[in-house]
Amino acid sequence: MTEETDALDVLFSALANRHRREIIHALALQPHSISQLAAMRGLSLPAIHKHLAILADAGLVTRRKTGRTTHLALERHSLRALQYWLSEFHAYWGTSEETLENYEQYLAQSPPTSKE
């Protein structure tokens, strides 16, 4: 596997959980403290810390401690890898019907192979 593929796996894994996606959404709007995020999501502090550790390992959040309070912000550059990966397929996207119709037309025009 390549480094890029490994990074995407980590990002997709981190974003596979609803609570972590909600945390990312909240941080996209503005930075929050850990206790604010826990209260907003209705999670205990140990649970929010586990989610935040996974997000931090994926490079999705950055932390800054001020006194006894830790503030978190979204690390937007990490999302660019996802955006870039999705954009690779953009040229091929169409409606599902277009894709299936094109494939059926291709099959109808292709000469049968000896395996068929």
Q: What digits encode the pLDDT tens for the residues 26-85?
A: 999 999 999 999 999 999 999 999 999 999 999 999 999 999 999 999 999 888 888 888
DSSP-assigned letters across all residues of 64-86: EEETTEEEEEE-HHHHHHHHHHH
Q: What is the pLDDT of residue 110?
A: 74
78/18: higher pLDDT: 18
The span from the CA of 73 to the CA of 100, in Å, is: 42
64/104: higher pLDDT: 64
Instruction: Retrieve residue 2's tokens.
Output: 């390549």
> In this structure, which CATH number among 1.10.10.10, 3.40.50.300, 1.20.200.10, 3.30.465.10 belongs to the domain 3-109?
1.10.10.10
Its pTM stands at: 0.75
Domain ranges in the chain are 3-109
108/69: higher pLDDT: 69
107/49: higher pLDDT: 49
